[in-house]
Amino acid sequence: MGFIQTWLPYILAGVAVGGQYALIAIGYTMVYGILRLINFAHGDVFMWSGLIMVYLITILPLWLSVILVIIFAIVLGTTIEKVAYRPLRSAPRMSIMISAIGVSYLLQNFALYITGGLTKTYPTIGWLQRTVSIGSATTKMVTLVTPVLTIVLVFLLVMLIKHTKIGMAMRAVSRDFETSSLMGIDIDRVITVTFVIGCALAAIGSILYFSNYTGIQPMSGAMPGLKAFVAAVFGGIGSVPGAVVGAFVIGVAENLIKGIGWTNFSDAFTFVLLIIILMVKPTGLFGEKNIDKV
Amino acid sequence: MEKTLNNKTKLVLSIAAIALLLILVYVGDNTIPANSSWKMLITVIEKGSIFALVAASMNLLNGFTGLFSLGQAGFMLIGAYTYAIFTIPGKSHEAVYQYFDGGLIQWSIVEILEGKLGVFGHYIGMFIPMIGAGLLVAVVAALIGIPVLRLKSDYLAIATLGFAEILRAFFQWNSLGPITNGSNVLRKYTTYGNAIFPVLVSGICIAIIVLLINSTYGRAFRAIRDDEIAAEAMGINLFKHKEMSFVISSFFAGISGALLAMFQTTINAMPFNTVMTYEILLIVVIGGIGSITGSILGAFLFISTSEWLLRGLDAGKWLGISSNLMRPGFRKVVFAIIIMLIVLFYAQGIMGSREFSWDSFINWWKNLPANLKAWPAKRKAKSTAKKEARARKAAAKAKAKEAKAEGEAKRASGEALFTPLPTSDEVMVFGKEGK
Amino acid sequence: MAKQDNREVVLRLSDITMQFGGVVAVDNLNLEVHKNEIVGLIGPNGAGKTTAFNCITGVYEPTNGAVEINGNVVIENYPQGKMKDEYAGKNQGKYTKALTMLPDKVTKLGVARTFQNIRLFKGMTVLENVMVAMHMNQSESVFGATFRSKKAREEEKVMKEEALELLKKLDLYDNRDDMSTSLPYGKQRHLEIARALATHPSILLLDEPAAGMNPQESDDLMRFIGRIRDEFDLSILMIEHHMQVIMGICEHIYVLNYGGQIADGTPAEIQANPAVIEAYLGGDE
Amino acid sequence: MKKFIALMLTLLLAMTSLAACGGGGDSGSGGDTIKIGVFEPASGDNGAGGKQETLGIQYANEVQPTVEIGGKEYNVELAIVDNESDNSKAVTAAQDLVSKGVSIVLGSYGSAVSIAAADVFADAGMPAIGVTCTNPQVTADCEQYFRICFLDPFQGTVLANYAWENGMKKAYCLSKQGDDYSKGLVNYFIEAFKGLGGEVVEEQFPDKNSDFTSYVANAKKNNCDVFFSPVSTEAAALIIDQAEAQSLGMPILAGDTWDSNVITGAAKGKNVEVVVTTFYQEGGNPEFDSGIKEWMENNSEAKTNNGGNTDLAAVTAMGYDAYFVALEAMKAAGSTDPADILAALPELNATGLVCGDVTFNEVGDANKTTAFVKKCNNETGAWEFVKEQSAE
């Protein structure tokens, strides 16, 4: 009892932030699964979704803002893919990664320009920020909503991937890019759909995340983005359930580490975990073997 | 038109050019008053040469060995701290390590040697910790390299990025305060007196990198970049050579970190973050991945524009143009857009993979009038070619559309276009696991 | 069906099996190459020929079996881990510590290879491509090489001379300063062989050297292979689809189908072997 | 491709010479204009604070755009440069100011960048006036650096005294990793608080961190009486938000950076007690207050830079004062030459300022002995004066 009482706040916080990482991580893992690209700009799409919400809510009703934010994220993500990644698809891997880093640099600097470097306060969305008490812990409503919503969304996504035609095409493309295109699968469409799903989830993630941590500045996307990527690697890149499990593990572990008092290394821990997993089991928890043809 | 100079002439030319540059920098730094704009040029040359070195070291990894590493800022951090920690004069310790009772290390190499050897000892005292910084970084890199270099391209990138972040957290750790001063700045350490110092040191280091690249080991690195499997089949030990390249690159990153510490006169760990690594990477990209000349040009171009010439974009007025758009931050937006344009349309950067040589320079210079004259005609030809290409593309598109329509019709009529994919368990691609 | 040959065996594969998950790419391959012999490895597409090459050169770790090069057992594996359960071949249940080699070590033991899909170093000139292959024999340290010590300069000089000599022999001398990718296809194949020869091999593995060549060119290639065998004192194991080349030059031929070894013998024997004919002609599932 | 190189190089050369000539011309023909350098962050971690400080200087320039020196009327022009809150960018930014031919430099918000720039100013013999950089190291070894604010040891002691006097026995101290301002202030606070007999739990959070849940939980877990967290305003808003969400149940104490409308905005309508020490008490100078508010109201960019409303931050008032101190120094020197201004500064006695008169001691620090303690009113979202507190 004492144990639970002491650690409940940390676990709750960890589960909540884990769910938010999970929603971002799905975007990473799906894009990586198909394009073999670490989409460095994904964290910044997440940040921009939050920023747009700040501006939209001042002029539009809540429900419309939420819808528009999701649409905005989708448009931004697919535009990035079309402009910055598609022309380089046949270029060396390094070029696409550099392009991704460049896009991330651009999005951050543009946000800096728009906000003037000032932290924007995220609006209160419905009852998400209301305070609730559970046992010894007091927390925000969003903390409880996040894991539930995350799991529902992931379930829907897994269903989509398993049972629809586009889902099958996605699986095929992530297995073998070239063969799939020879088989007549419209690769561009599959990639676009992947970005649409990833960005929509990131937008939802941004609503939850920023309702919990209500300040947005240009670098707000960078750290959650990196952590979500680590979560995706941890769970096995390309695997949606893996990314979700990874995200929850990282979220909870990070908060427990802060709870023990090793606060200096709470971020570093994420990277330590990444390196350990890459050394010990490069394919992650649920990942499949990555095969190169000689 | 092609004319080649003999090697002796080239050597003389190179030495003369370098000597002239050094003299200009030396005299410039000594005579130009601080409030002159030309002083800013000297400052840019100082910082530019430091970033040229770190960009060249990153290019050795990314451009010549094909290892996509993003740990450069972390290595610079170690280099900067190592240099600073060992050259803070004894009497300044109390002030610098104000929260840590003067710190653990109470002496300065510079002071010790200066006491024994005079002015000569002063410079030796600066070189020892600088080289030591490089060596320490090399050792750290060697340790990091053992696990990390077995990873493939993008995993390697993210793992090195991770290590750099861990290093930063480590240096800011309060428990190490007596050595690293924790979160507080280190200052008062010995710095150079004239801008010629970083230019000279960077120049020597870059020359060594160039020599390495042109040696048989450099050839092996490039072989690994071009084709790992073939390189292995040629008897090149992948891990050994990757580790070698990683360690050497890190050594020079460490040196440049030490130089940066001297340039800044104060250091803290905060700025050595991923953004700094990205900036170094962008310098390499602007200059051309696989060209040391490019990295040098890129560094000066990047530093001079981002920290000097484009500043007006933030202040509302630049080159006489003023606009409401020019608010703080505009400079960086413009910069990021330029970088994206380079990445997308000039993927090879300024130099591609070519290097500077006197022959091509002289030929370029000789052909310049002719080329300039021919330029309008060439442009015209290019634009017509572009138009034709566009027309061809449009035709192809129309054709594809037709084919698609045909396919749709077929599908509508119930014909099978292709056999469905087998379920996942039956698909198997041969290959090797990451070794 | 052991063959009668008194020459010393330079390369021996015993029971080589390569499994990927449930797929057996190579199944119990036994093969011998004698000194100065030219051996052919044939079979329909997907028969596991290149996989066999990869097992020899250390690119793959074979699931089971041993590779012996010039009398040294360099690879000796028994089924382990998950493979153990799936494997039903000769060494089932047996386990010793696996002995495997990295590709560069195999090359140092004198086995050089070419690739089916040409793998030249794209960013380098023809001469550099060959000189890279000599790097492993260099004894100067990276420090000495960087600062151009006397030894390094001498080694570099010798290396360059030797490389040019090799290019002359392989009819590439005039292209020495061209970028490797700018060479015509046939010359790229030649360069791959030149590069392999630069490692001073005693055994040369050629993976479809005649791919994409017309009858005239493959005829030239045949003579060329014979010539380098004599000139460089080589034993050659080659994969080839051009029957004309295989039958014209090989002393002994192994035939694979679906990973398994279905026949071996002299060209004449193979041509008469019904199983081979079946595999090539009647193999309509 | 070669064409492209040629083009780039020519462009670079052209730009260099243009900029150089342009700059050179300005400094040469000083004429009736005098430049004051503003060395402040407009981006990076301290961007928000830097902008607010710049606002004060800009407003002061608006109020008093000319100065009479030695009988001659000069127009005062501000040369503003962004040091990006980054030590590695600060050096070039500072050199850029010096190269532009400014007569004196004001700034910066954030001590680390000021320390980094100190050597550049020292080399150039350029007088600099720190506005709100409270780290003792800024002026300690730099003869060119002066400052008009109080120092961390003083502020830390004041805060510790306040906490102890109000019956707080155990303090939770949170600083930002790699941020010498918050770490420094926490150090001095701890020193003073322990000296009084208090107990301390100290933690740091990594930069880019926006999840303060666990830190708030840690403070609760350790049964602390006060949450001391003098971090940047970005983090501050998040901390206040989490404190509310988890019902922290103890006052949050902070230094001068928190005297900002960002904090009052965040604390408004929440059940969180925020107490700060600061340089300036709003309402102390009604004329200034209404003037700057009106100016911000009519200047949309200024309003945006202030965070979207016209509530004052202490650093803005300090920026305003710094400008007038600079003008006073020039008048006293009777010259626009940096060397003369530098010589006049130690003896300066600047009066009529909104945050109190300024004289400098032998190190170059302002002689200030009291700080204002303010508390945020959660209903109105405004600061309420609590008391003047001294270090004794």
Q: Which residues of chain C have a CB within 8 Å of the CB of B234?
A: 104, 107, 132-133, 135-136, 195, 198-199
B245 touches chain D (CB under 8 A): no
- For residue B44, give the chain D residue with the closest CA: D92
CATH number (domain holding residue B192): 1.10.3470
Distances (CA, A) of B86 to B75, B83, B108, B186: 17, 6, 5, 11
Q: Which domains does chain D have, with CATH numbers?
A: 29-150+289-360 (3.40.50.2300), 152-278+371-390 (3.40.50.2300)
CATH number (domain holding residue A21): 1.10.3470
Task: Tell me what pLDDT residue A290 has.
Answer: 53
C-alpha dihedral, B368 to B373 to B376 to B381, nearest 10°:
-80
Determine the Cα–Cα distance for residues C207 and D15; give it in Å rounded to an integer: 57
Determine the Cα–Cα distance for residues D101 and D103; give it in Å rounded to an integer: 7
Determine the Cα–Cα distance for residues C254 and C41; give it in Å rounded to an integer: 5
Determine the Cα–Cα distance for residues B434 and B429; give it in Å rounded to an integer: 14
- Residue D145 phi/psi, 5-degree rounding, is -95, 125
Note the pLDDT tens digit of each residue in B58-114. Answer: 999 999 999 999 999 999 999 999 999 999 988 888 888 888 888 888 888 888 888
Domain count, chain B: 1
Q: Which domains does chain C have, with CATH numbers?
A: 1-110+201-209+235-285 (3.40.50.300), 113-200 (3.40.50.300)
Q: Which residues pair with D106 in a beta bridge?
A: D38, D129
Of B147, B278, B347, the CB nearest to A95: B347
Polymer length in residues for chain C: 285
pLDDT exceeds cutoff 90 at B118? no
Structure-model confidence comparison of residues D281 and B144, the more confident one: B144
Note the pLDDT tens digit of each residue in D335-377. Answer: 888 888 998 888 888 888 888 888 888 888 888 888 889 898 8
Determine the Cα–Cα distance for residues D381 and D261; give it in Å rounded to an integer: 9
Classify A270 in phi/psi space as left (phi over 0), alpha (psi -120 to 50) or beta: alpha
- Tokens representing C104 are 């560069």
Tell me what the pLDDT averaged over chain D comes to: 85
Note whether residue A238 is domain-resident: yes
Give the B window 81-120 contacts with D, CB below 8 Å.
Answer: 92, 95-96, 98-99
pLDDT exceeds cutoff 90 at B137? yes
Determine the Cα–Cα distance for residues B224 and B234; give it in Å rounded to an integer: 10
Contact C11, C20 (CB under 8 A): no
Note the pLDDT tens digit of each residue in A245-271. Answer: 999 999 999 999 988 878 888 888 888
Task: Give all chains having 3 or more CB-to-CB distances under 8 Å with chain A.
Answer: B, C, D
pLDDT exceeds cutoff 50 at C285? no
D42 touches chain A (CB under 8 A): yes
Task: Tell me what pLDDT residue D179 has.
Answer: 85
Task: Tell me what pLDDT residue A19 has.
Answer: 92
Distance (Å) from the alpha carbon of D346 to chain A's nearest alpha carbon: 36
Quote ipTM for the complex: 0.90
pLDDT exceeds cutoff 80 at B409? no
pLDDT exceeds cutoff 80 at A137? no
Task: Tell me what pLDDT residue B258 has.
Answer: 96
The CA radius of gyration of chain C, in Å to the nearest whole number, is 20
Task: Tell me what pLDDT residue C6 has.
Answer: 77
Q: What average pLDDT score do residues D233-251 get?
A: 88
Q: Which residues pair with D349 in a beta bridge?
A: D359
The DSSP letter of residue D366 is B
Domain count, chain A: 1
Q: Which residues of chain C have a CB within 8 Å of the CB of B211?
A: 146-148
Task: Tell me what pLDDT residue B339 has.
Answer: 87
Q: Helices B119-148 and B153-171: crossing angle, nearest 10°?
A: 130
Determine the Cα–Cα distance for residues A272 and B20; give it in Å rounded to an integer: 49
- Domain range for A125 is 2-280
Q: Which residue has the tokens 């200096």?
A: A264
Provide, for chain A, the percentages of residues in helix, strand and coil under a 3-state DSSP scheme, each rounded to the nearest 5. 75, 5, 20
Element (H, E) at A224: helix A222-235
Note whether residue B420 is domain-resident: no
Determine the Cα–Cα distance for residues D342 and B177; give it in Å rounded to an integer: 35
B375 touches chain D (CB under 8 A): yes
- For residue B276, give the chain A residue with the closest CA: A105
- Domain range for B282 is 7-358
Contact criterion met (CB < 8 Å) for D208 and A267: yes
Distance (Å) from the alpha carbon of A120 to chain B's nearest alpha carbon: 16
SS3 call for D105: strand
Task: Tell me what pLDDT residue B422 has.
Answer: 39
CA atoms within 13 A on the CB side of D25: 6
- For residue C60, give the chain A residue with the closest CA: A294
Of B210, B2, B13, B180, whose CA–CA distance to B105 is shortest?
B180
Determine the Cα–Cα distance for residues D44 and D110; give it in Å rounded to an integer: 11
- Tokens representing D226 are 């006060």
Of A93, A112, A291, the CB nearest to B431: A291
Contact criterion met (CB < 8 Å) for B215 and C138: no
State the count of interchain CB pairs (< 8 A) between B and C: 121
Distances (CA, A) of B73 to B275, D172, D329: 9, 33, 42
Q: Which residue has the tokens 């939209």?
A: A56
DSSP D210-269: ---HHHHHHHHHTT-SEEE----HHHHHHHHHHHHHTT--S-EEE-GGG-SHHHHHHHTT
Note whether residue B201 is domain-resident: yes
Strand order through the sheet with D33-40: D66-69, D72-82, D33-40, D104-106, D128-130, D145-147
pLDDT exceeds cutoff 70 at C85? no
Structure-model confidence comparison of residues B115 and A117, the more confident one: B115
Of C131, C156, C199, the CB nearest to B235: C199
Task: Tell me what pLDDT residue A195 has.
Answer: 94
Task: Tell me what pLDDT residue B272 has.
Answer: 92
Note whether residue A153 is domain-resident: yes
Note the pLDDT tens digit of each residue in A53-86. Answer: 999 998 989 889 999 999 999 999 999 999 999 9
Contact residues for A100 (Cβ-Cβ < 8 A; gap 6+): A37, A38, A39, A40, A41, A84, A85
Tell whether omega for the bond before B69 is within 30 degrees of 0, i.e. cis.
Answer: no
- Tokens representing C49 are 């020929």
User: How big is the CA angle at D89 (ends D84 and D90), to the nearest 5 degrees?
Assistant: 85
Note whether residue B294 is domain-resident: yes
For chain D, strand residue ranges (E) read: 33-40, 66-69, 72-82, 104-106, 128-130, 145-147, 170-176, 199-205, 226-228, 252-254, 274-278, 349-350, 358-359, 370-377, 382-390
Task: Tell me what pLDDT residue D248 has.
Answer: 86
Contact criterion met (CB < 8 Å) for B282 and A102: yes
Note the pLDDT tens digit of each residue in B336-354. Answer: 898 899 888 888 888 887 8
Tell me what the pLDDT averaged over chain C comes to: 85
SS3 call for B120: helix
Note whether residue A78 is domain-resident: yes
Strand order through the sheet with C38-42: C72-77, C64-69, C9-20, C23-34, C260-265, C252-257, C38-42, C235-239, C203-207, C111-113
Note whether residue B273 is domain-resident: yes
Task: Tell me what pLDDT residue D386 has.
Answer: 87
Note whether residue A179 is domain-resident: yes
Per-residue confidence band for A157, with pLDDT thresholds at 50, 70 and 90: very high
Note whether residue A293 is domain-resident: no
Task: Tell me what pLDDT residue C22 has.
Answer: 72
Task: Tell me what pLDDT residue D5 has.
Answer: 53
Classify C117 in phi/psi space as left (phi over 0), alpha (psi -120 to 50) or beta: beta
Q: Which residues pair with D67 in a beta bridge?
A: D74
pLDDT exceeds cutoff 50 at D262? yes
- Tokens representing D71 are 């009988």
Task: Tell me what pLDDT residue B429 has.
Answer: 35
Determine the Cα–Cα distance for residues C27 and C258; give it in Å rounded to an integer: 8
Task: Tell me what pLDDT residue D26 has.
Answer: 42
